[in-house]
Amino acid sequence: MITQLPPPPAKRWLVKPVPDSVADRSAIESLTASLGVSPFLAGLLVQRGITTFDEARLFFRPEFTHLHDPFAMRDMDRAVARLKKALQRPQPEKILIYGDYDVDGTTSVALVYSFLSRYHDQLDFYIPDRYKEGYGISKQGIEWAAENGFTLIIALDCGIKSVDRVAEAKALGVDFIICDHHRPGDELPDAAAVLDPKRSDCQYPYKELSGCGVGFKLLQAFCLDQGIDLDTLYPSLDLVAVSIASDIVPLTGENRVMAYYGLKQINSQPRTGLKALIKVAGFRNALDLTNLVFGLGPRINAAGRIKHAKAAVQLLLAESDDEADDFAFAINKHNSDRRVFDSTMTEQALSMIRQDETLLRAKSTVLFDAGWHKGVIGIVASRCIEHFHRPTIILTQSNDKVAGSARSVPGFDVYEAIEECADLLEQFGGHTFAAGMTLPVDNVDAFRKKFETVVSQRIREEHLTPLIDIDLPLDFSEITDKLYRIVKQMGPFGPHNMQPVFVTEDVYLVTEPTIMKEKHLKIQVQQERTGHQFTAIGFGMAHYAQLLQPRKPFAICYQVDQNTFNGTVSLQLMLKDIKCE
């Protein structure tokens, strides 16, 4: 089983520079006085670019006023005009809300459908079948829309590269409003409006929205144009927060504001479907983005991976508790099935690498098995990177074609590498760290070789070693309840605003290490210089138990967390890595 595999590769620690310039020291003194925090905490803020009281106030207390004007996005005026036209005719048009089958796509569809249904009753939604139709705008979807009298499709989290499909739809009398966040190709679709902050001709000030975030901006613009109170829209940020967390977009700018308020909504008054999902996931305390990434997101995704993603949208749109509970139960079962596929395929993939000397020496991993389940190949790619830290693509056969899912490592743009292999592909799309593709079966070997060549030419050796970004050195004497409370307020955490990681050197074991569930490490550690002790937990780090020796110093990097046991609350350290001398 996976738990018996050898430990992951050694990690590279990168400690960020301590703020120490004249300007930094001045800012630290100012923040220490104005915020009433320790110089250490003030330094942590300065390290993240927060140097004044006003910047700290905006960081710790995001406001709706920090959201950008949606009409700053290219084509937003055209999108709102086309939407109004569909709603205001004497004979209102039928509008189809179309979205991808992953978390970002399904939350986008639920968001736009649920909000527009308050103002329009000629609505339906469409999610393509992952296995029969594939990613993006499908020919089957367009034909279904035309046959059923839809004259406007709002495409969410897809469509930016669907030039041919949008042209086919237009010939059938169907217009498109595209809301996407993926990189455009050289040609944009001939749609009524193309909303994508990554368009080269779009001056929108924030480029890293999720697909659901772009859908939210369309609704925000619609509300502003129609004089609709935005307070009726803001509760929908619960869905945007789930998309932001699951699509791994940066937690900066607008994303941070929307995630902040979306989490507040989830933890105070979640929509019926999310409440049911939270219950089957077993969460009892307040949720953070990590809970969304690893608890809710995989369950929503599992609907489309195992059966059909339409069930995920139905869950998110459910109005009664009984209906939501039924959908949540079924989706949770799909997630359990997905875990079985994930575990089995990961074992097979890792075995293939270990048994092939060429693969072991390679700078990339490209594996193909016609029998692998298409719904979990992206997850398996991520699992492989945990053991072989390099760009990875997992391929399987689907409808006489080969479908693939790619994952990358920090610092390497896998999308650009795949783009170099475009001559061997039929379709591809994605981001810097994740992408998907389809190709003919006959091209698999050639693609594997070319991708390895491209990666070998571009990747640097440091990219091939797992990296831990460390914020600052920390003495155990600085670890207090106040530090924990303020660090927690720096969330929500995610890419570009990660939970702080600290390093402490010259620590010692106080007692013998404890192994939990055969793979997790629990140790009691003391910093000799200060005499302070803490319990430290390392998930998946049981292999360190044999390396740690009494009276021998070692270094740890970790996050500060809070533990509650039998009513007693205490601080503990969540280990990221250990370095023995």
Q: Across the 581 residues of the chain, what is the mean pLDDT of every consecutive 10-residue run?
A: 52 91 95 94 94 93 95 98 90 94 94 97 92 85 96 96 95 97 93 97 96 98 98 98 93 95 96 96 92 91 77 94 93 86 92 94 96 89 94 92 94 95 91 89 97 96 92 95 94 92 96 92 94 95 90 95 88 96 71
Residues 7, 545: Cα–Cα separation, whole Å = 12
Per-residue confidence (pLDDT) for residue 261, from 0 to 100: 97
Per-residue confidence (pLDDT) for residue 134, from 0 to 100: 76
Q: Are residues 109 and 164 in the same domain?
A: yes
Which residue in the block uniquely carries the two structure tokens 């139709």? 133
Q: Are residues 409 and 495 in the same domain?
A: no
Closest CA to 301 of 223, 246, 383: 246
Domain final residue pick, 425, 446, 464: 464
Beta-sheet strand order (sheet of 193-195): 123-126, 94-99, 150-156, 175-179, 193-195
DSSP states of 73-140: STTHHHHHHHHHHHHHSSSPPEEEEEE-SSHHHHHHHHHHHHHHTTT-SSEEEE---TTTT-SSS-HH
Residues 513, 499: Cα–Cα separation, whole Å = 26
| In-domain check, residue 62 | no
Q: Are residues 91 and 228 in the same domain?
A: yes
| In-domain check, residue 59 | no
Per-residue pLDDT of 558-578, as tens digits, reads 999 999 888 888 999 999 999
Closest CA to 179 of 201, 204, 153, 200: 153
Residues composing the chain? 581
DSSP state of 47: H
Which two structure tokens, joined as six digits, stand for 434?
């994740």
Contact 479, 533 (CB under 8 A): no
Task: Compute φ and ψ for 55, nearest 5 degrees.
Answer: -65, -40
Q: Are residues 91 and 128 in the same domain?
A: yes
Q: What is the pTM of this model?
A: 0.87
Which two structure tokens, joined as six digits, stand for 225?
């144009």
Rounded to whole angstroms, the maximal C-alpha distance in the chain is 83
Domain final residue pick, 245, 263, 281: 263
Domain final residue pick, 431, 464, 497: 464
User: Could you tell me the CATH number of the domain that includes residue 379?
Assistant: 3.10.310.30
Q: Are strands 520-527 and 533-538 parallel, antiparallel or unpaired?
A: antiparallel
Region class of 96: left (phi > 0), else alpha (psi between -120 and 50), else beta: beta
336 C-beta neighbours (distance < 10 Å), count: 11
Q: Are strands 554-565 and 502-509 parallel, antiparallel or unpaired?
A: antiparallel
Q: Are residues 232 and 163 in the same domain?
A: yes
DSSP state of 158: -
- Domains of the chain: total: 4
Q: Are residues 174 and 259 in the same domain?
A: yes
Q: Are residues 440 and 331 in the same domain?
A: no
DSSP state of 18: P
Task: Compute φ and ψ for 161, nearest 5 degrees.
Answer: -110, 10
Q: Are residues 158 and 234 in the same domain?
A: yes
Which two structure tokens, joined as six digits, stand for 490?
């720096």
User: Could you tell me the CATH number of the domain that includes residue 528?
Assistant: 2.40.50.460
Q: Are residues 473 and 447 in the same domain?
A: no
Domain residues for the domain of 367 are 356-464
